[in-house]
A and B are shown apart, each in its own frame.
Chain A
Amino acid sequence: MQKTYKKYFAVFVLPILTVYFIAFLFPLISGVYLSFTKFKTVSDAEFVGLSNYAFVFSDVRGFLSALKFTAKFTAVSMVTTNLFAFILALLLTKGVRGTNTFRTIFFMPNLIGGIVLGYIWQIVINGVLIKTVGVDITYSAKYGFWGMVILYNWQMIGYLMIIYIAGLQAIPSELMEAAEVDGANKWQVLKNIKLPLVMPAITICLFLTLSGGFKMFDQNFALTNGAPRNQTTMLALDIYNTYYKRIGFAGVGQAKAVVFTLMVVAITFLQVKLTRSKEVD
């Protein structure tokens, strides 16, 4: 058997390996290389050592402020999206009338692209703010922050809800019946049966929202585009602005992207490890 595998290695694995190398590994490696250079086009890169990275870590009003804002946003929205999604999932596994209709409705915002959602929510939020406070979303970073949290919740809750519903429905009914016979109340059932058994779903959902929040771009771009005064720029948008809008800063943008990638990988790796340890088999 082993021999046959080896024999056909080239036929089955080589094509996809080539694609993986061309489309993933090679850009990744050349991206890391370019972060140490100054370049206009990829072919005329000039090595400049660590100066790009030095700029990144001293870019107080750019990268570092974006990092702070992104971390705050991700922390808040990770909690709210998962909380609301889980509550909805609990409600919609109770067998209420019209369950399927509700599930569809809650899932639908996820089908709309981030740019479109961003513009729609911009109109909604501006409408409310102008009516009540007499200013618009560019007035304060607070408005931009909560606007993005609302938008992200709106978009993600339905998707996470479906994952949680799948997790809840996979719980064997014997367990629930046994708990009922033993006289466990609803809170005890939730805490001792449902939560531990949907832990894999929680791992997935936390991973999705954590990495999604960190990597968020189009919603940010459409809703606030950094206003006011770059205070609501998230990491991805800051990288984009550095790379495309500042002449001669492509290398710095590349360095930011490398730092960004490492950060997202490290944080999500840590999170998956932590929540995995809580899962029960």
Chain B
Amino acid sequence: MKKFSILLVIMLLFSMFTTAVTAEETGSIYFLNYKPEVTEAFEKIAKAYQDETGVPTRVVTAASGTYAQTLTKEMDKEEAPTIFVVDSPLMFSQWQSYTADLTDSKLASFLADDTYTMKADDKIYGISYALEAWGIIVNKDILNKYFEMEGKATEVSSIDDLYTFANLKAVVEDMQANKDKLGIEGVFASTSMKPGDDWRFQTHLMNTPLYWEFDKDIDLAGEIPSFEFKYAENFKNIFDLYLNNSIIDRKLVGQKTVSDSMAEFSLGKCAMVQNGDWSWGQITGTEGTVVKPEDIGFIPITIGVEGEEEMGLSVGASQYMCINKNATEANQKASLEFLEWLFSSDMGKEFVAKDLQFVTPFTTMADAEYTNYLFASENEITAKGKKGYPWVVSLIPSDQWKSNYGANLLAYAQEQIDWEEVVQLAVEDWAIEAEIVNATK
């Protein structure tokens, strides 16, 4: 027994010694992953990279909602993460002393511009690796059926003409009138207003009016500005269009969930649904789905503001990769090389497109082949020269505002309160919540 333990100790020492040696030469990588949904993909990538280069690569995933806490704990350890993620300007400010300057790195040179980076004093400290976009998802097959239909009341005959609210409204209303001919139950999927499932409207749909209101001076990291809801009528335009041209009566939206709406779209019961590229799996994974993947595409959300035909989808970054400044030189170098490999080598790009399914801001990824047609659609819209709406929704002071606003929207949909009251409450609540939040900044 004694002999055995001595042997064990010797082996242990030896193994430590060897790793120490290799680590000094090539460095090692420890990536603390933020997204639980891609845990397996990242583990696969880490193994592939280690097999190819021999650099020890480790990926640990924090359980959903515990990233900040896990990061705090891991950073205290001897072998701290070499690559970590920050999800907001607030989190960046807390971890800034750990982030290495990436401005002159090769990785940063892959960027088209610095829109999707985390910066301080004009230096890049974090780079987003996953962009998310939302707009109106359409079933092109049904739209084409309409465009070719005899006796349609509009002149619109291409999806490219749906970039203004006037055209969208005319088409939607005419389609709703001809829903039997088109074989649908309504143009829009149910407006899911069940409390907790209303984020498509109380948050995402607010992005467009908020963008126009705060157009000039959007400072996502600064104080919450005061809010007048200047584009309230425009919000009402699009919200009414959703409610009145839908599968269900507007009084029944209070029990509908996002999954209900996505299933309706997937089953071909409707032609349009407002959502983002993350819902791809929901659409194609519904049992009995009839919509063909190649028929799924995006059009932007329009609300009747001048100049909106030049705009595209709402595109934003929520997570930024950072390199741990306090890691050894070798480890920092190895980590950067790993990320460069991931986003620029053929093998890495295939992993990103097929396994991780990330849309990245890197130009090197332009020729990657995605299996998600919503991503392809995003690229098409960008290629048309349309400008993306940034995520102005980050300015919404608190979740309390969102849930209050959602509840008021529901009451409006049920015709319990009128629109003026919704607007008034939204402005009042904003003032209250902004004061609370700004006081702590």
Contacts and interface: CB of A to CB of B under 8 A. Distances in A.
A246 B249 CA distance: 33
A136 B250 CA distance: 11
A137 interface: yes
Contact of A227 (B251, B254, B398, B440): B254
A61 to B, nearest CB: 9
A118 interface: no
A139 interface: yes
B411 A229 contact: yes
A137 to B, nearest CB: 7
Contacts of A225: 195-196
Given A130-B252, A225-B195, A138 B410 contact: yes
Interface string B234-278: 000000000000000101101100000000000000000000000
A268 interface: no
A245 interface: yes
B251 A134 contact: yes
Main secondary structure of the interface of A (DSSP, over half): loop
A248 B436 contact: yes
Contact of A248 (B404, B407, B414, B440): B440
Main secondary structure of the interface of B (DSSP, over half): helix
Interface string B38-69: 00000000000000000000000000000000
A138 B193 CA distance: 10
A96 to B, nearest CB: 41
A228 B407 contact: yes
B246 to A, nearest CB: 15
Contact of A138 (B249, B255, B403, B436): B255
B164 to A, nearest CB: 34
B206 to A, nearest CB: 18
Contacts of B193: 138
A40 B191 CA distance: 35
A245 B401 CA distance: 11
Given A227-B195, A229-B408, A139 B414 contact: yes
B400 interface: yes
A140 interface: yes
A226 B254 CA distance: 12
Contacts of A138: 193-195, 254-255, 410, 414
Contact of A135 (B195, B251, B407, B408): B251
A136 B254 contact: yes
Interface string A225-259: 11111100000000000000111100000000000
A135 B249 CA distance: 9
Given A135-B252, A227-B195, A245-B400, A140 B416 contact: yes
Contact of A247 (B255, B398, B408): B398
Given A138-B410, A225-B196, A229-B408, A245 B399 contact: yes
Given A130-B252, A138-B255, A229 B414 contact: no
A126 B440 CA distance: 42
B416 A228 contact: yes
Contacts of A135: 251-252, 254, 414
B91 to A, nearest CB: 13
Nearest to A227: B195
Interface string B391-419: 00000001110011001101100101000
B399 A247 contact: yes
A145 to B, nearest CB: 16
A221 B400 CA distance: 17
B414 A246 contact: no
A240 B206 CA distance: 27
B414 to A, nearest CB: 5
A248 B254 CA distance: 29
B409 to A, nearest CB: 10
A26 B320 CA distance: 41
Contacts of A248: 436, 440
7 contacts: A130-B252, A135-B414, A138-B414, A226-B407, A229-B407, A245-B399, A246-B400
Leading 8 A-B pairs by shortest Cβ distance: A138-B254, A229-B407, A136-B255, A135-B251, A136-B254, A225-B195, A227-B195, A139-B414
